[in-house]
Copies of this chain bind each other. A is one copy, B any other.
Amino acid sequence: MEIVSSISRMQELSALARRDGRIIGFVPTMGYLHEGHLSLMRIARKKCDVLVVSIFVNPTQFGAGEDLAQYPRNIERDKKLCREEGVDVIFLPDEREMYPENYSTYVEVSGNITNVLCGYFRPGHFRGVATVVAKLLNIVQPHFAVFGQKDGQQLAVIRRMVRDLNYPVEIVGAPTVREPDGLAMSSRNEYLTPKERKVAPKIYESLMLAEKMIQSGIFDPEIVKDRMRRVIEEAKMFRIQYVEIVDAETLEPVKKIESPVMVAVAAFLGKARLIDNIVVNPR
């Protein structure tokens, strides 16, 4: 396993691999790896010759007052886990390498897809995400890249960016990995106190209820959302940011559930901002 911190070296490795006809698979991460990340690596490993994982806590996707400084890091454990998963290259740049002096270019996906859900509560977040992913795709030059469905809006935004800018890459969405009690795996679960951790699965419980309601023929999103809120608020510990039901691809609000929708929740639980979603097909 090679650890690469320079962009030019990474590009050189990728160019060599491509010249030899080798398939490059890519899993971008912010590190502090958990089973969710590892599942992405396993999906990629099966489909590629060269597996590249990037670890970079991208400052441009954090807003003022967000948790950039506290974001958990454990690079030695990350390296060990990558080695165990058969990763070939860890791309591990520092901030100066990614955002040099006079850095001034940003990729912006505009419109509803970035204005709703997390985009509404984290202005500038998806601009940072789209920018760093555009850069990473140019650096790693993968044939495909794997992103978790857990960050569902991120996945939709990246798909749109890749389509619009014509990146020659396949974007693979991968299922959310959960703790036994249903809590979606996230590096930010680290922030939870034991008491908070205990009620955290309420979010998943609300999503499961939504799925059941939709599949039993309740197609009015307001009714479903209302019941979901009540489930989450039972715990009296959450500060809900949103409970939404939107078109699974465009993230447009829906008035009636008649095609695949993303049911999405964001809520603070103590210091942790938790997000989760499921895609439900009413047919």
Contacts and interface: CB of A to CB of B under 8 A. Distances in A.
Of the four ranges (under 10, 10 to 19, 20 to 34, 35 or more), the interface on chain A belongs to: 20 to 34
B104 A105 contact: no
Nearest to A14: B168
A125 interface: no
Interface of A: 7, 11, 15, 18-19, 21, 100, 102-111, 113, 130-131, 134-135, 138-139, 141, 160-161, 163-168, 250
A14 B13 CA distance: 20
A171 to B, nearest CB: 14
Nearest to A252: B102
Contact of A164 (B18, B103, B111, B167): B103
A133 to B, nearest CB: 11
B111 A166 contact: no
Given A18-B18, A21-B19, A165 B111 contact: no
A7 B168 CA distance: 10
A168 B107 contact: no
A127 B29 CA distance: 29
Contacts of A134: 107, 134, 165
A110 B102 contact: no
A7 to B, nearest CB: 6
23 contacts: A7-B166, A11-B168, A15-B168, A18-B19, A19-B21, A102-B111, A104-B109, A104-B111, A104-B160, A104-B164, A105-B160, A105-B161, A105-B165, A106-B110, A107-B108, A107-B165, A108-B108, A131-B165, A134-B165, A135-B164, A135-B166, A138-B166, A138-B168
A74 to B, nearest CB: 27
A250 B168 contact: no
Given A11-B168, A167-B138, A168-B15, A106 B108 contact: yes
B139 A105 contact: no
A113 B113 CA distance: 29
